[in-house]
Structure 1
Amino acid sequence: MSITKEQWAGIEESLKSHYVVIKFQYQGTEIAVTRISAGEGKTVLAVWFNGKTHCAWGIPGSDHFNPLCELFWHKRTKSLYSPKRIKELQKAYGKRAAKRVIPNIEAKYTYYMPYFSKASVLVRQFRRIEGLTVDDQQKWMVL
């Protein structure tokens, strides 16, 4: 049974509290969302698969890549070279020579992180997933 609009609103409100654990089911996998500390005075929402997480799961092309990360984790992209470094190279060698020497100077890579800074961002991403369920009888833990 899919999650209703009212349930999503309740889930989002629950995720805003300081101590929360919400468990979803997706194709036989338990997806748990908890709020954890990410530094002094900062918390984030962490996504766990069957109670585990591993940083290599979020790197496409890795031997350990988990396809569930594309659905449930936060997508991040990063340039291989910073804009400042690109300008320095282009100034030193010229635009054409820099492109010839470093053909992937404008390239970016993508990876997935199991952390969300806001509940609304997590809910917006999770709402798009077909087949995601939450147990109606389960009262998600809000302390």
Structure 2
Amino acid sequence: MLSKEQKERLTGELTGLFSVVKLRLDGHEITINRVRIAENKTALGVYIDGEIKGEDIGPLTDETRAICRKVWRHRQRSLYKPGSVAKLVKEVGKRRARKIAPDLDKKITLIDPTFNTAGSLVRQFSRLEGLEVVAIGVEQEA
């Protein structure tokens, strides 16, 4: 668990443009860097043992590594777009739409190695048991 002082230091470091934080959890080294998402958009990338494996990104399944489940962001998405659902319901009616697509309201959970804000990252990481701070910025934790 992170102390209040560590949470404040992490948030302060991660809001900067060139932020680097190193943590340790369950024998894995977790590195957090500011990464470029688009031409003028950045996010906080969470690297596990120095890498982000493409096979771990996507829908949350039973094969998803436990460390990814803990440190990456969980996002929920509808299986169908709300506009498509509304159009189908309007055309064929609610009852028939449910027969055509029984999973009309189903949502899937995706895991994503990026966080949009430092606050959301720190909130998720503060709930992790056994999290150890190695370095915040260029300083080394004692």
TM-score normalised by structure 2 residue count: 0.89
Quick check: 1:141 aligned with 2:138?
A: yes
Instruction: Evaluate the alpha carbon distance shift between residue 139 and residue 92 of structure 1 in structure 2; reply closer, same or farther with a 3 A threshold.
Output: closer
Corresponding residue number in structure 2 for 1:114: 113
What is the alpha-carbon distance in structure 1 between the residues aligned to residue 33 and residue 12 of structure 2? 13
Percent identity for Structure 1 against Structure 2: 33
Deviations 1:98-136 (A, max 9, x none): 10111111111111101111101100110000100013x
Q: CA, structure 1 residues 89+119, in 2 after alignment: closer, same or farther (shift >3 Å)? A: same
1:99 has 2:98 as partner: yes
Normalised to the residue count of structure 1, the TM-score between the two structures is 0.89
Q: Residues of 2 paired with 1:45 and 1:141: CA distance?
A: 17
1:61 matched residue in structure 2: 61
List gaps (5 residues or longer) in structure 2.
Answer: none
The equivalences for 1:48-87 within 5 A come to 48-58=47-57, 59-61=59-61, 63=63, 65-87=64-86
Runs of 4+ in structure 1 displaced over 3 angstroms? none
CA contact (8 A) 2:24 2:132 kept: yes
The answer as to whether partners of 2:20 and 2:136 remain within 8 angstroms in 1 is: no
Flag structure 1 segments of 5+ consecutive residues without an equivalent: none
* CA distance in structure 1 between the aligned counterparts of 2:2 and 2:124, rounded to whole angstroms: 13
**How far did 1:8 drift?**
1.4
1:139 positional shift = 5.0
CA contact (8 A) 2:9 2:136 kept: no
Q: 1:141 to 1:41 in 2, by over 3 A?
A: farther
Structure 1 vs Structure 2 CA RMSD:
1.6
